[in-house]
Amino acid sequence: MNKRLIAGIITAASCGYLLWQYLTPVEIVAVHSDDFILVRNFPYLKFRQIAWWEANKDMIKAKYGVPHISEDGFYQVFIMDYGDGYRVDQGTDEDSDLLCFDDMHVDARCIRKNRLRWIGWSQNSGQFYR
């Protein structure tokens, strides 16, 4: 095959993927009381993740009451990948990668631990995104 044709196909596929990433909205699947936000289609790039948080933090606070801000102003929010959905913790070593939510009263109340972004504020560090 021609090298230009291969380069063109790779370029078109890359541009298509980036356009799909840009146009697919982030879906908030669930918000749990301990400041965990479960999402689908979270942006891949860090600057887009931060931009999404900055654009939506007031709506999230108004709609879900997250984050819970302490008396000294400290807060933290964990944005987690919803992935394949909720699972049942079988209590085995294989389930050590699960994060379970105590505010749910069903068997399937755990997700895989896949943190996408940790956002917070403290007096010592100010605003941080990790």
For the segment 17-58, what is each residue's pLDDT rounded down to a tens digit? 888 877 889 999 999 988 999 999 999 889 999 999 999 999
| Percent share of the chain, pLDDT over 90 | 64
In this structure, is residue 75 part of a structural domain? Answer: yes
Structural contact between residues 21 and 54, judged by C-beta atoms closer than 8 angstroms: no
pLDDT score recorded for residue 12: 93
Residue 111 covered by a domain: yes
Q: Residue 42: exposed, middle, or buried by beta-carbon count in 10 A (0-12, 13-18, 19+)?
A: buried
In a domain, 76, yes or no: yes
Q: Amino acid identity of 23?
A: L
Domain extent at residue 47:
25-129
Contact present, 112 and 96 (Cβ < 8 Å) = no
Domain assignment present for 122? yes
Whether 110 is in a domain gets the answer yes
For residue 100, which phi and psi values (nearest 5 degrees)? -105, 145
On whether residue 86 sits in a domain, the answer given is yes
Does residue 57 lie in a domain region? yes
| Residue 1 belongs to a domain | no
Query: Considering the entire predicted model, what is its pTM?
Result: 0.83
pLDDT reading at 94 higher than 70: no
**Candidate from 38-47, 93-102, 110-119 with smallest mean pLDDT:** 93-102
pLDDT of residue 34: 84
Tokens of 55: 């654009």
Provide the domain count of the chain. 1
